[in-house]
Amino acid sequence: MKKVYSRPKSLKRNPFHYCPGCGHSVIHRLIAEVIDEMDLQDKAIGIPPPGCSVFAHHYFDVDMAESAHGREAAVATGIKRAFPEAFVFTYQGDGDLAAIGTAETIHAANRGEKMTAIFINNAVYGMTGGQMAPTTLSSMKTTTTPYGRDVEIEGYPIKISEMLALTRGAVYIERTAVNSPANIRKTKKAIRKAFQSQLDNLGFSLVEILSPCPTNWRMEPLESWRWIDEVMAVEFPLGVIKDVTGSKDAD
Amino acid sequence: MSGNSIIGEAAIRAGCQCYFGYPITPQNELTEYMAAHLGRRKGCSFVQAESELAAINMVYGASLVGARTMTSSSSPGISLKQEGISYLAASQLPAVIVNMSRGGPGLGSISAAQSDYFQATRGGGHGDYRTIVLAPSSGQELADFTHRAFELADKYQIPVIILGDGMLGQMMEPVEFKHEAPEKPPVRSNALRGAKGRPSRAITTFTSKPTELEEINWSLFRRYQLIQRRETTYEAFMAEDAKLMVVAFGVAARIAKGAIKNVQAEGLKVGMLRPITLWPFPSAQVTSLSNKVKQFLVFEMNMGQMIEDVQLALTGNGDVSFYGRPGGVIPTPSEVAKVISRIYYQKGLK
């Protein structure tokens, strides 16, 4: 019988600990599939964040090193400068990349570091219990915006990918989602393209993935999938935000 | 060469492959030296980071993949680096961190001070850890200790701090470099460079099991004990028949030497113990000194920090006076000589 689906080589045989309906396990799998297909398992170094995915090294069967909160892009910079042959991806949440790590991320992008950031946007701080993130939507209730995010007081959901696209060193930035089979396929394609731009030494690449967090959103998994389409993707439109991989100087 | 440039040249000769820095006075000549001389070496890298936080985390990244790596700053910047130093200590990664310290707290002054002693010798960041702390007091020692710092960092897989100050950094002194830069920067053997031909590995510091972390704390502690036994260094100066021992480190020790020569000429029997490793502190040497000498004068360019280590080592078995000038004030040898004489006579040693 023909085998059409199996565990990627770059994923360990450990069951995911993530909540039902969480996007992390799907995204982990997509990254592992791309690592396999591009034959990167023995040169990859992954940098997971503190947060729900702090145990990503339990799942990815590649070298991994933990980073302090928000410093992944700086750690990746150190790795690539010392050992340019490495293939480096960071795995970061919205609080991590768009709040505490804003400076590190923007400057790594601006220097055109040859690295890829996988940016999980679920609009909340997940592991700490669902506090407001920089990407929390207007009027959205979280544990630190119990009456809904008031943009007059708490500011607006930040579009960090669009900001990063303004840096000359960023060559590929796309926003996708993992809330439907079609979007999951598009996400995999985006990861592949981002990884390729690093292998081609073109510069900084990032894939922002709108990812459901049913637990902290207080929703059923299916409801959370719909919410991404109906609410989140309105504020954070899906699609390619920047792609100069064809001609790096095109910007 | 200026003290800051000496460190840069010595680091390159010690095989430093990557330097990550952020401007702050009074250590900028070191960052500039690395920009001019390290960045263009084959296989080497210089990055001016966007912050001290970024710089120390770049150090962490370069150390992960086995490079000899360094960052430098001055007091306020070193406070920012503490996050990364704690992670380096927890991950058991070697790195060299230079603090050409200045007056504090806060933005403080840009003049030389020793007010970061506590921060350097007690770990500095969060968690239960130590770093080796070397305190040079001359241009030659800046060169020698920089080399030693890289060797110690690799040997014990630990961050090493060179605690200088603004005066050492700016001072021009002749120096002899005892090592040639390696053709190719060395790569540590246990580095994380991709799972080629071996199972994948993870370098992590987080665990959900307290007993696992407790075991890591114990293993770090055992290594620290080994370092205490093997690497404690100090200088004894005119200590033979001294009735009063000055205890001072770094540039303060250099000022004190001048003062001691002055008072010796007047017939006062004064010597000095200069801790070279501030951690591990030469406690055993202080303790054994107290069998012969009962009067101690701790002199620091701060409000009294190392004095606590001296008192701990003496456990009451000796009389300790203190003289300190904080804030970036640099006392003269004759000022310190007056203090020594006053204490000498007050305590009835003559």
For residues B121 and B129, give the distance between their C-alpha atoms in angstroms, rounded to a whole number: 10
pLDDT (0 to 100) of residue B1: 93
For residues B114 and B250, give the distance between their C-alpha atoms in angstroms, rounded to a whole number: 8
Reported as a single tens digit per residue, the pLDDT across A145-202 is 999 999 999 999 999 999 999 999 999 999 999 999 999 999 999 999 999 999 999 9
Contact in structure between B103 and B109 (CB atoms under 8 Å): yes
Structure tokens at B63: 């150390």
Which chain B residues are closer than 8 Å to A43 by Cβ?
194, 196
Domain boundaries, chain B: 3-231, 234-346
Query: What is the SS3 string spanning B179-201?
Result: CCCCCCCCECCCCCCCCCCCCCC
- Burial (CB count <10 Å: 0-12, 13-18, 19+), residue A95: buried
pLDDT (0 to 100) of residue A250: 43
CB atoms within 10 A of CB B107: 10
**φ, ψ (nearest 5 deg) of residue B79:** -60, -45
Interface of A with B in 43-62 (CB under 8 A): 43-45, 50, 54, 57, 60-62
pLDDT at A248 over 60: no
pLDDT tens for chain B, 350 residues long, are 999 999 999 999 999 999 999 999 999 999 999 999 998 999 999 999 999 999 999 999 999 999 999 999 999 999 999 999 999 999 999 999 999 999 999 999 999 999 999 999 999 999 999 999 999 999 999 999 999 999 999 999 999 999 999 999 999 999 999 999 999 999 999 899 999 999 999 999 898 899 999 999 999 999 999 999 999 999 999 999 999 999 999 999 999 999 999 999 999 999 999 999 999 999 999 999 999 999 999 999 999 999 999 999 999 999 999 999 999 999 999 999 999 999 999 999 98
- Burial (CB count <10 Å: 0-12, 13-18, 19+), residue A216: buried
**Class for domain B234-346, per CATH?**
alpha beta
Chain A, chain B: beta-carbon pairs less than 8 Å apart: 136
Report chain B's terminal Cα–Cα distance, integer Å: 43
Mean pLDDT, range A85-96, rounded to an integer: 98
- Pseudo-torsion of CA A198, A199, A201, A204, nearest 10°? 0
Which domains are present in chain A?
24-250 (3.40.50.970)
Residue A53 half-sphere exposure toward CB, CA atoms < 13 A? 33
Name the average pLDDT for chain A. 96
Contact in structure between B251 and B200 (CB atoms under 8 Å): no
Of B83, B193, B202, the CB nearest to A83: B193
For residues B192 and B195, give the distance between their C-alpha atoms in angstroms, rounded to a whole number: 8
Q: Which helix (H) or strand (E) holds A235?
A: helix A233-235
For residues B143 and B162, give the distance between their C-alpha atoms in angstroms, rounded to a whole number: 11
Q: What percent of chain A has pLDDT over 90?
A: 96
Nearest CA in chain A to B87: A68
Reported as a single tens digit per residue, the pLDDT across A1-24 is 899 999 999 999 999 999 999 999
For residues A46 and A91, give the distance between their C-alpha atoms in angstroms, rounded to a whole number: 7
Nearest CA in chain A to B20: A78
Predicted confidence band at A34 (pLDDT cuts at 50, 70, 90)? very high
Interface of A with B in 101-120 (CB under 8 A): 103-104, 106-107, 111
What ipTM goes with this model? 0.96
> Looking at per-residue confidence, does A249 or A36 come out higher?
A36
Of B61, B91, B200, the CB nearest to A78: B61
- The answer to whether B3-231 and B234-346 have equal CATH topology is yes
Of A62, A78, A106, the CB nearest to B200: A62
CATH H-level superfamily of B3-231? Thiamin diphosphate (ThDP)-binding fold, Pyr/PP domains (3.40.50.970)
**Bond prior to A146 in cis (omega within 30° of 0):** no
CB contact under 8 A, B50 and A41: no
pLDDT at A251 over 50: no
Residue of A62, A64, A26, A25 lying closest to A48 (CA atoms): A64
